[in-house]
Amino acid sequence: MPFVIFACPMFSPAATHMIAAAAGVPGVTLAVICPEPWERLEEPARSRIAGHWRVDNLFDVAQLTAAVQSLSARHGPVHRLYAALEQLQVPIAQVREQLGITGMGVEAAKNFRDKHRMKALFRQHGLPCAKAELAHNTEEAVAGAKTIGFPVVIKPPEGAGAMATFRADNEAQLREGLAAFRFGSSPTLVEEFVQGSEHSCETITIGGATVWQSVSHYAPTPLEVKSTPWIQWAVLLPRDQADPAFDDIRAAATKALNVLGMDTGLSHMEWFRRPDGTVAISEVAARPPGAQFTTLISRAHDVDFVETWSRLMIEGAAEMPPRKVAVGAAYLRGQGRGRIVAVHGLRDAQRAVGALISDHKLPVVGDTPKDTYEGDGYIIVRHPDTAVVEQALRTLITKIRVELRD
C-alpha cells in the first residue's frame, strides 16, 4: 500500500478537499504535515488520514525533513511527497532530493519559483515573454525601468497571486511605489507592462508529454483589478478548447514546460495576447491554479478536478473527459471603504441568470473586505454556449454591487 505525504500551511476548505481526494485514491495510506493541530481538520477528511505531523515552520527544510522521516519510520517508505502551495514547491523538492523520493527536483522547482530565472530560460530558448530586469535597490529598479521602457510592473521574483505587485507609468510613480518596499536580500523584478488581453493555460504533463490543456480568458487583467478598487473580475473558460486561435499558446506552453523541467504534474500559466496577435508568457507555476479554477474546470468537464490532480501526483496518471460546457466565474469585490454593509442586485441577477448558476459564495455583511482581485465572493455559471456564459458574466458584474462603509 503506497504511503503518501501531503503538506499544507493550514486546514483550509481547499486543503481539506485535497486531503480527502488524496485519501480517496485506492490503496493509498496518507499522512499530512501541517502547522495546525490535527483536531482542526474537519471530518470526514480527518478520519481518513493515517498520520499527522505538526511543524512550527512548514517552509523550513530541516523541519520538513524531520517530519517526513518521522512519519516514514511509522508508516514505511514514502511513495510521494507533494504540496499545492507555490511557496512550498522548492522546500518540498529539497526534501525529496535529500530522501530519494520521486518527484520534481530542486533545479526544476527553482525554475518555476524564481520568475527572473524563468524568463532568462525563456529568452534563451526563444520563447515569447515580457522583458524583465532584476533590481536589488531603488536605483537599479529605476535603471531597469528605463531600459525596458515605461510603463512597467514591479513584482517579487517569488511572488504569487499578484501579491506585492504594482504598475508604474513613470519614474515618480516607481519611486513612490518602492518607498515602502524592503529590498534587503530580496530583490524585485522590473517587468514590461504587456498591453493586451490576459489569459491562463492549465496543462497536465505526464512523462514530459502534454496530455491535456485548458485555456481561459481574464476580464480585465488581475493587475487592473488590483489597481482599480471598483472593478469586479471575471474569468471565462470557453467550451471549444480545440479552437485554432489557441494553437500558438498551446505550442508555446508545451515548449515552456519542457524548458522549465516539468516531467509529471499540473501547471498554471498566465499569458497575454498582444494587440498585434502575438503571445507573451507572463509566468508559470507548477501547482493547481487558485481563484476557484479547479471548480471551474470540474464544472466544465463534470469531474472532480482535485481528485484528478491527486491521482496525477500520486499515481502519475490522469484522465480527463471531453469538455461538456463553457463555464465562467464573476468575483464580487467591495466598492468604497470600510466593512461590507450590503450586497445589492442579487435578486435582479438571480432572475437574469439563475438557471445557469452552479456554485456561489456571497460576501458576508459585516466582514472586512479582502485586498485581492478575487474579492469576497464568487458566482460560477455554466452553459453549452460560450456566448451565453460570457453574457451571464457581464450581467453579474454589472448588476451586483458590494457596498462598503466605514
Question: Is 220 a residue whose pLDDT tops 80?
Answer: no
Decide if domain 197-405 falls under CATH 3.30.700.30. no
Measured distance CA(339)–CA(297) in Å, rounded: 32
Cα-only R_g, the chain = 21
Cβ neighbours of 365 (radius 10 Å): 12
Task: Please compute the mean of the pLDDT values over residues 151-158 and round it to a whole number.
Answer: 79
**Does 223 have pLDDT greater than 70?**
no
Q: What is the reported pLDDT for 380?
A: 98
Could you tell me if 392 and 381 are in contact, meaning their C-beta atoms sit under 8 angstroms apart? yes
DSSP state of 96: H
First to last CA, the chain: 56
- Residue in 373, 338, 342, 375 with CA at minimum distance from that of residue 360: 375
The C-alpha cell that represents 150 in the structure block: 515605461
Mean pLDDT, residues 192-197 taken together: 88
Task: Say yes or no to pLDDT of 180 above 80.
Answer: no
Residue 187: which pLDDT band, with cuts at 50, 70 and 90? confident
Cα angle value 259/265/269 (rounded, 5°): 60
pLDDT at 336: 77
Tell me: pLDDT of 18 over 90: yes
Superfamily designation of domain 131-192: ATP-grasp fold, A domain (3.30.1490.20)
81-112: pLDDT as tens digits: 999 999 999 999 999 999 999 999 999 999 99
* Conformational region of residue 265, where left means phi above 0, alpha means psi within -120 to 50, and beta covers everything else: left
Whether residue 45 contacts residue 36, with contact meaning beta carbons closer than 8 Å, is answered with no
Domain boundaries 3-103, corresponding CATH code: 3.40.50.20
Q: Confirm if 193 and 174 have CB atoms less than 8 A apart.
A: no
The residue ranges of every structural domain in the chain are 3-103, 131-192, 197-405
Render pLDDT for 236-248 as a digit per residue (tens, 0 to 9): 999 999 899 999 9
Instruction: Render pLDDT for 275-299 as a digit per residue (tens, 0 to 9).
Output: 999 999 999 999 999 999 999 999 9
Backbone angle region of 384, left / alpha / beta, with phi > 0 → left and psi within -120 to 50 → alpha = alpha
**CA proximity to 33, closest of 5, 56, 60, 59:** 5
For residue 185, pLDDT beyond 70: no
Contact partners, residue 398, CB within 8 Å, separation at least 6: none
Q: How far apart are CA 376 and CA 381, in angstroms?
A: 17
Q: What pLDDT shows up at residue 195?
A: 86
Residue 217's pLDDT is what?
94
The rounded mean pLDDT for the chain is: 92
pLDDT at site 166:
83
